[in-house]
Structure 1
């Protein structure tokens, strides 16, 4: 039943990823339309439990943008009203609500309470409040996501001290055929294959990697270089000529053959030097992988074992995946078995190194051989992200840098302007007790007041407002005021879906999370990312 319910997502992150989701507990600060859209996606994905912290009361404005509220909910606590409907989406997910006021979120006791969750998500908190929560959670290594919807502007900020990714699921991963350093058993199979003795049908069903190895041998003999390997376009073109020479005619005079067509299509991807990617080298050189490290986190213990393997063999463990190719069943099965057996052997060696590291660091043996094998199949797609606190962007200096960049991307500069105006709107709220464009005040008046806040922010960055203000569009300030801090459902649904995706990435340690700020502009329907 469970497999049927989560069938599609199991294809995305596998049983291990789904198990991580089903053990995740998420705390959401707020119960607005944005918060419920985030929770909707997480509940449907099957998280273990969620907790809503909010003391807001359902008002008429909520009925217009939150599909989880009904007119009968008017006057009720908003978190309590949305809780019941969210739990209906997936009875297997536990959910609670706590009547906690905004001021209590700063309380040390409440901050300590937040540290018990897998991920904490905030909806529509002003930057200063989000920064205070981020400071605490960052130091305690709890992932924190702050999301906002302000009119047609959507904002997501991921703040995490360190996040490790065991599998980034690259769209076009490199094939690991090791043609430059072939497996001994496979090389023996190639050497034992004499194309001259094969029938036309057998040649037309010879796996293209055997054709590659035969052509590579001729290529090296032609150059009188036993280690030559085609790396340039000219080299690969010369190699392809040798492969073409192996074609044979059928009784009808045709030389068309699927395996040769595959060989041509896969030539560039297949003939890649066996190297350790730069980002993996950086991870293996991390202090947590050194012999003096005492880190006992499973990811870093595995990486330390992997480092020992790489130091010994100068390559990553073999993936063991053989791509589909035209072939007779017997030869394909034999090659697949060779690659699989070699991959298992490499994984076992890595596992032995891991056990050594566990003993050296006095760590519990929590890493199974099966876990190690799965890790070894994706070692070229591991990643480590080290983020920053939300306070890193609250001084606006970096935002203005993006805005003032002479040759910067126009879309990114436009997004930077909205980030600056959101900071100004928060300053407006802090000083006047309301957002610009609310309480019936004309937008022209609030626009002038908002502009003065922008000037104040720029001056605090020791910059000249006369140089920065001309960089702002004419419509930006009045548009923020026209929004009146509204939360349109269409923007909340989009931003909520993206934010839920980020929560799942953080919970599963799969796929690369946002690094670290995303802004969506509903006017242009474009987004931009920033790193603070």
Structure 2
């Protein structure tokens, strides 16, 4: 049940999807992989929307070069762990929710335990090896993966539903080369808000998700385009899954 404070805080959202939808947000657990450029806006907007439990995972410390885009972190946070900086800000933004932070690198040894009983995974990473690991874990746990990626003034987003949509390996069979890429803060802001919107829609059960659709943002031209995605029946990760996310 929602408290009176929560009814007041979320009153303008409740007009849209009712107290039942707000209660679903309150009861949801979302893990966000990364507290940087994408993880910042995603976590902020999920916090203010009232997602009841947010788990934020990151290993890095705040650097001055982060500050043009990682809006969870301020000048005074340079040198602090991103998890500590993020936890402080998110709890101040919304004391009604639970914020858990984990200062670690996501890898094969810990990813399943980190995800635990989460209702969804937000991919806010900057490298494809970890993204592929999150993709596989989402499929194994039968929970959605909300993917986002950015470079410069360009970004992309899609929502992966196990057994129903193309997985990340279907869409991107081969990872791009590792690089230190340019980025302007508005780009992860835009894509992060798309990801957060997808999470909210999924939890409350409204609207149309970016399922089998890759949203492409061209900030130079201010144009949004879409690319249709299809499952690869020979995909090494999801090829054998049925529509219920189970292997035959």
- Greater strand fraction, Structure 1 or Structure 2: 2
Work out the CA distance in 2 between the residues paired with 1:133 and 1:509: 23
Work out the CA distance in 2 between the residues paired with 1:80 and 1:486: 26
Paired position in structure 2 for 1:30: 34
**Is 1:502 equivalent to 2:198 in the alignment?**
yes
Pick from 207, 210, 218: which aligns with 1:511? 207
**Is 1:387 equivalent to 2:83 in the alignment?**
no
Paired position in structure 1 for 2:138: 137
Work out the CA distance in 2 between the residues paired with 1:122 and 1:34: 8
Paired position in structure 1 for 2:98: 94
TM superposition shift of 1:108: 4.2
- Greater helix fraction, Structure 1 or Structure 2: 1
The gaps in structure 1 that reach 5 residues or longer are 163-385, 397-422, 430-434, 439-484
**Is 1:8 equivalent to 2:8 in the alignment?**
no
Q: What's the CA shift string for 1:2-31, capped at 9, x where partnerless?
A: 222111111211111111111111111111
Is residue 115–residue 137 contact of structure 1 (8 Å, CA) maintained in 2?
Answer: no
SS at match of 1:12: helix
Work out the CA distance in 2 between the residues paired with 1:14 and 1:135: 34
Paired position in structure 2 for 1:150: 151
Work out the CA distance in 2 between the residues paired with 1:62 and 1:128: 22
TM superposition shift of 1:110: 2.3
Normalised by the length of structure 2, the TM-score is 0.84
SS at match of 2:56: strand
Tell which structure's C-alpha radius of gyration is larger: 1
Give the 5 Å matches for 1:362-381: none
SS at match of 1:95: strand
Is residue 33–residue 487 contact of structure 1 (8 Å, CA) maintained in 2?
Answer: no
Q: Show structure 1 runs of 4+ deviating over 3 A.
A: none
Is residue 121–residue 134 contact of structure 2 (8 Å, CA) maintained in 1?
Answer: no
TM superposition shift of 1:93: 0.9
Work out the CA distance in 2 between the residues paired with 1:108 and 1:387: 27
Q: What's the CA shift string for 1:242-285, capped at 9, x where partnerless?
A: xxxxxxxxxxxxxxxxxxxxxxxxxxxxxxxxxxxxxxxxxxxx
Work out the CA distance in 2 between the residues paired with 1:35 and 1:116: 20
Paired position in structure 1 for 2:236: none
TM superposition shift of 1:127: 2.9
Q: What's the CA shift string for 1:166-186, capped at 9, x where partnerless?
A: xxxxxxxxxxxxxxxxxxxxx
Is residue 35–residue 123 contact of structure 1 (8 Å, CA) maintained in 2?
Answer: yes
Give the 5 Å matches for 1:15-164: 15-101=19-105, 105-161=106-162
Work out the CA distance in 2 between the residues paired with 1:115 and 1:521: 35
Work out the CA distance in 2 between the residues paired with 1:31 and 1:17: 26
The gaps in structure 2 that reach 5 residues or longer are 231-248
